Amino acid sequence: MSDAPQDKVLKIQIEGPVAVLTMDRPDKRNAMNDRLLAALEAFFSAPPDGVKAVVLTGTAGHFCSGLDLSEHVAREAEGVLRHSRNWHAVMDKIQYSGLPVVSAIYGAAIGGGLELATATHVRIAEPTTIFQLPEGRRGIFVGGGATVRVGRILGPDRMTEMMLTGRKYGSEEGLVLGLCHYAVGEGEALPLALDLAGKIARNASLSNYIMIHAIARINDMSRSDGLFTESLAAALSQTSADAEEGLRAFLEKRPPEFR
C-alpha cells in the first residue's frame, strides 16, 4: 500500500485501484470540521489517476462523531443556510463522483457522521457502531442531508422518532433497518471493505458509474420516467466496449478485462 500526499486530517493511501481514506482526528472521534470536509471534497473532485473504488473509514475506534461543536461558529440564518448547502454539495460529491465508496464503520456514526456514511454506497458496521441523530436533543436540526439520505432509508416516521428520542441503533439493528449492508465482527469491517472495494474496482467503470448515478435518481422519478431512464442506462452500458468484453469473456470462460 503506497502513501499519497496527505492532509493532516485525512490520510490517503492507494493500493492498486483502491484508495483508502482515513479520517484522522482521533482526539475528536473524527468529528467533522471545515478542514476535513474540504479535504474530502478535494479528493472526490480530483481523484488520483487509476483509482476505481474508495474505502472510507475513521481512526481510534470511531468512524465520525458528527459536526465538531467545539469549533461551532455562531452564524446568522444566511450563514447557517450556506454552511448546510456546502455540506450537501460535498455529500453529493461523495455519492456522485462516479467512484463507488465502501465505508468501514465502527464506534460513532453520529449526526453528520451518519449523514456521511449514508452518502457512501456500501456500508459495513462492527459491533461497536452507534448510529444516532442527536440534533433534536441539542435544540438544532440536521443540515447535512439526513432528511433525504437517512429519511429515505428509514422512512419519515422512523426518522422522526429517532430524532425526537435521540435513539441509538447498533450494527445488527442498523442491518435490519438498512443503515448498513453488512454487520460484521470486531476488526472485520476494514478487511471486508478492502475486499469488496477490490471486487467493485474490477467491474466495468462505466457500469459502476451508471449504477451510482441512475439508481438513486430513478428513485426520485415517476414510474414512467424511471423506466425510460433505465432504458437509456441499459443502452449506454450494453453498447460499450466493456459490454463486448464482458460477453466475450463469458463465452470464453475467463474473467473479463475491463478498461
Where residue 55 falls (left for φ over 0; alpha for ψ -120 to 50; beta otherwise) is beta
Which pLDDT band, with edges at 50, 70 and 90, does 4 fall under? very low
User: What mean pLDDT is predicted for residues 24-50?
Assistant: 96
Q: Is 257 a catalytic residue?
A: no
Catalytic residue chosen out of the listed positions 41, 71, 126, 135: 135
* Structure confidence at residue 72 (pLDDT): 65
- pLDDT at residue 148 tops 50: yes
Which pLDDT band, with edges at 50, 70 and 90, does 236 fall under? very high
How many Cβ atoms from other residues are within 10 Å of residue 259's Cβ?
9
Domain boundaries, the chain: 2-201, 205-251
Catalytic residue chosen out of the listed positions 15, 115, 230, 252: 115
Q: Is 115 a catalytic residue?
A: yes
Distances (CA, A) of 50 to 16, 99, 205: 8, 11, 11
Angle in degrees, 0-180, between the axes of helices 241-251 and 223-238, rounded to the nearest 10: 70
CATH number of 2-201: 3.90.226.10
pLDDT in tens, 168-210: 999 999 999 999 999 999 999 999 999 999 999 999 999 999 9
Architecture of domain 205-251: Orthogonal Bundle (1.10)
